[in-house]
Amino acid sequence: MSDIAENNIRCGFVALVGAPNAGKSTLLNQLVGTKVSIVSPKVQTTRTRVLGICIAGQSQIAFIDTPGIFAPKRRLDRAMVAAAWGGASEADDVVLLVDASKGITRDTEEIITRLKDTQSKVILALNKVDQVKKPILLDLAAKLDAEGVFSDVFMISALKGNGVDDLLAFLAARAPEGPWHYPEDQISDLPDRMLAAEITREKVFLQLKQELPYRITVETENWEERKDGSVKIDQLLFVQKDGHKQIVLGKGGQQIKRIGAAARRELEEILDCKVHLFLFVKVRESWEDDPERYRHWGLDFNA
Ligand code: GDP
Ligand code: MG
């Protein structure tokens, strides 16, 4: 017997799919034990595929967080949905997250239809059980089970952590045998520069109202590690109109200051050092139609 079989070493890729806001990124962060994917109450916060890696016993599992799957209208939407299905097709296992407090929505119905076409069995995770009464939950589980696409059903709260360990143990036990793909201490495939930009984008989502966050993108321009152990990070916020720029800056620059302060606090926690964060707002009307921005996120411009 080989070493791997003898030691029962396993490594698997698991895609987390689901409608926008189902809690995929929250689950990823809960699994990894730290923030690797940003979360907000707004739909479509996650723009690209993010990998979160965790170890359970002898198994290494790389979870692929995907943008939500929904009916796409604009180019960026199409690219995000394509990335989501791309994530699912690369994986050994697929976990469909359903927001139990919302029941079976149109988006979820469409995802199930498409999963039926792919013929592979999917693991169902009914999420946000902390918000739903038991009888409603059981009823929903029965309805979804009747679709015939699910091999197993888990009830979890990605936010509070209930049921998450059971789900992880289950996935770890059935991951394919084989050596680990990533170093033991790696928890994400997102480079620090990109994670830093994502953190700022999350604060934009949390602090700006309505549609504006969707019209903004953030890129890290410069990253400088200083002799005193601190890091200086320069980031560009691209907006599409001068009016948007004024809102992002706020009166006397107060809004951008608040965004920067929140992002810096979190970055200092993650990087465990002092951070000097400088944010610059630039108007670029057509960033959503710029192939360069898509390449930057690993999205397909022509999806
Ligand atoms: P995604 O779009 O699927 O990645 O969803 P997010 O992870 O960004 O979560 C969307 C919203 O649902 C956020 O406000 C989360 O805090 C919330 N959420 C996620 N999981 C749970 C849960 O288990 N319980 C509750 N009450 N809220 C949750
Ligand atoms: Mg997400």
The alpha carbon of residue 95 and the mean position of all alpha carbons in its chain are separated, in whole angstroms, by 14
23: CA distance to ligand 1 center in Å?
Answer: 4
Q: How far apart are CA 14 and CA 167, in angstroms?
A: 11
3: CA distance to ligand 2 center in Å?
Answer: 37
How many beta carbons lie within 10 A of that of residue 270, not counting itself?
Answer: 16
Q: Which residues of the chain have pLDDT under 70?
A: 1-6, 119
All structural domains of the chain, each given as residue ranges with its CATH number in brackets, are 10-174 (3.40.50.300), 192-297 (3.30.300.20)
Residue 8 has a pLDDT of: 87
Q: What percent of the chain has a predicted confidence (pLDDT) above 90?
A: 59
pLDDT tens track for 216-256: 999 999 999 999 999 999 999 999 999 999 999 999 999 99
189: CA distance to ligand 1 center in Å?
Answer: 22
Element of type H or E holding 54: strand 50-56
Element of type H or E holding 153: strand 150-155
Q: What angle do CA 243, 246, 247 make, to 5 degrees?
A: 90
Residue 2 has a pLDDT of: 57
Closest to 282 (Cα-Cα) out of 233, 252, 222, 239: 239
Closest to 246 (Cα-Cα) out of 258, 234, 257, 255: 255
Name all residues whose Cβ lies below 6 A of ligand 1.
18, 20-26, 39-41, 45-46, 68, 127-128, 130-131, 157-159
What ranges make up the beta strands (E) of 203-293? 217-225, 231-239, 275-283
Query: What is the chain's mean pLDDT, rounded?
Result: 89
Alpha carbons within 13 A on the beta-carbon side of 105:
16
Closest residue by Cα to atom 25, ligand 1, is 128
Closest residue by Cα to atom 12, ligand 1, is 23
How many beta carbons lie within 10 A of that of residue 201, not counting itself?
Answer: 23
Q: Which atom of ligand 1 is nearest to the CA of 97?
A: 3
Closest residue by Cα to atom 11, ligand 1, is 41
Cα–Cα distances (Å) from 190 to 49, 64, 224, 246, 256, in that order, read: 9, 11, 18, 31, 25
Residue 119 has a pLDDT of: 63
Mutation pick for ligand 1 pocket among 17, 24, 26 (CB with most ligand atoms within 8 Å): 26
77: CA distance to ligand 1 center in Å?
Answer: 20
Q: Which atom of ligand 1 is nearest to the CA of 38?
A: 8
227: CA distance to ligand 2 center in Å?
Answer: 36
How many beta carbons lie within 10 A of that of residue 152, not counting itself?
Answer: 16
Burial 252-264 (b: 16+ CB within 10 A, else e): eeebbeebbebbb
Residue 9 has a pLDDT of: 94
Closest to 200 (Cα-Cα) out of 139, 258, 285, 148: 258
Alpha carbons within 13 A on the beta-carbon side of 197:
23
Burial 34-47 (b: 16+ CB within 10 A, else e): ebbbbbbebebbbb
Residue 244 has a pLDDT of: 94
